[in-house]
Amino acid sequence: MRKIASVQKVVVPIDFSENSQLIAESAAYIAGKFGAVLHLIFVVHNFEDYSGFFMPQMSMPKLEHDLMEGAEQKMADFAEQIKPHCQEYGVNSVLWRVVNGDIGEGVINFANEIGCDMIIMGTHGYKGMEKIVFGSIADKVVRSAACPVLTINPYTCRMEV
């Protein structure tokens, strides 16, 4: 009989959409059941692909620096906001990181880097034109991750704990 590995590190991609808190709290509940560390990640989309577009008075390195700085502050605030829920569910450690690059690849690379045991993410973040531009990040992660990926559709699943 094959032995199932324990879940010690859970990665949760955050996009700061209206559903981010629900996804993070759901992930905290699950991580708490395993006694796992919760790792939040936000990936600032790499805008090098758009460097050929006309952008008057805008410096790409400055824009990326400003985006990273703003995302780090927002992530720090977000982590503090969900910390009480994490403690309530038995998660003793909430860590976070902001990286730059392709969003799906950034999540997968981070999960591999830390030896993640499970990724928990929402299926719906971007809508409309943003979804066309960025594609389905959840689909990319599910297809490429080296660990189990639990997806949560925030519009049909409301966890009550």
Residues 105 and 160 both lie in one domain = yes
Structural domain includes residue 34: no
Residues 93 and 120 both lie in one domain = no
Instruction: Report whether 7 contacts 38 (CB < 8 A).
Output: no
Cα-Cα-Cα-Cα torsion 44, 132, 18, 103, nearest 10 degrees, comes to -30
Structural domain includes residue 93: yes
78: CB partners within 8 A, 6+ apart? 14, 16, 20, 21, 24, 40, 96
Residues 117 and 83 both lie in one domain = no
Of the two residues 75 and 156, the one the predictor is more confident about is 75
Q: What per-residue string of b and e applies to 19-48 under the rule 16 or more CB within 10 Å gives b?
A: bbbbbbbbbbbbbbebebbbbbbbbbbeee
Structural domain includes residue 77: yes
Percentage of the chain beyond pLDDT 90 is 61
User: Residue 15 in 3-state DSSP?
Assistant: coil
Write out pLDDT tens, residues 11-41: 999 999 888 999 999 999 999 999 999 999 9
Section 56-66 average pLDDT: 70
Number of domains the chain is built from: 2
Structural domain includes residue 113: yes
Q: Which residue, among 122, 117, 143, has the nearest Cα to 24 in the 3D structure?
A: 122
Structural domain includes residue 55: no
Q: Which residue, among 122, 125, 128, 155, has the nearest Cα to 45 in the 3D structure?
A: 125
Residues 160 and 106 both lie in one domain = yes
Structural domain includes residue 18: no
* DSSP assignment letter at 90: T
Domain that holds residue 69: 60-100
pLDDT at site 133? 47
Residues 156 and 105 both lie in one domain = yes
Structural domain includes residue 115: yes
Q: Enter the pTM of the model.
A: 0.84
Residues 119 and 133 both lie in one domain = yes
Distance separating alpha carbons of residues 80 and 3, to the nearest angstrom: 36
> Tell me, what CATH number does 136's domain have?
3.40.50.620
> Does residue 92 have a pLDDT over 80?
yes
